[in-house]
């Protein structure tokens, strides 16, 4: 499951660090096709919002009831400057909806595009 599959949640759990329900998006794509990448991201976010709003999050993870929700994008490749603007706009919009959004590289850091 990755950013390319907009019909499923890639990973779901509760953060032990900050006690938030975390929905993880796994992004293995580089930003060469920026427009296509952004479309995939938008579809995936829409899927996650449907999952949250429908209550499926609590069916899948009953312990998350009452916890704040964070959508976390973990990326293999560093986003371009324009992609960063889009991700930061998404962070603001999701924040206004009451959801936290964060994005960051894999634990080993960003990979260089081939």
> How would DSSP label each residue in 66-101?
TS-EEEEEEESBPPPHHHHHHHHHHHHHHHHTT-EE
pLDDT digits (tens, 9 = 90+) for 31-90: 999 999 999 999 999 999 999 999 999 999 999 999 999 999 999 999 999 999 999 999
Quote the CA–CA distance of 69 and 91 in Å, as a whole number. Answer: 13
H-helix or E-strand containing 50? helix 34-53
Which of helix, strand or coil describes residue 114? coil
pTM (2 d.p.): 0.93
> Comparing C-alpha atoms, which of 39, 104, 33 is closest to residue 71?
104
């Amino acid at each position: 499951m990755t950013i390319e599959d907009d019909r499923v949640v890639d990973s779901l759990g509760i953060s032990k660090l900050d006690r938030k329900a975390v929905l993880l998006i796994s992004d293995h794509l580089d930003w060469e096709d920026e427009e296509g990448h952004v479309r995939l991201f938008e579809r995936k976010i829409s899927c996650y919002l449907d999952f949250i709003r429908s209550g499926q999050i609590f069916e899948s993870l009953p312990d998350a009831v009452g916890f704040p929700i964070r959508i976390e994008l973990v990326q293999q490749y560093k986003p371009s400057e324009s992609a960063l603007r889009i991700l930061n706009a998404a962070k603001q919009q999701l924040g206004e909806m009451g959801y936290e959004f964060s994005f960051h590289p894999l634990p080993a850091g960003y990979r260089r595009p081939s």
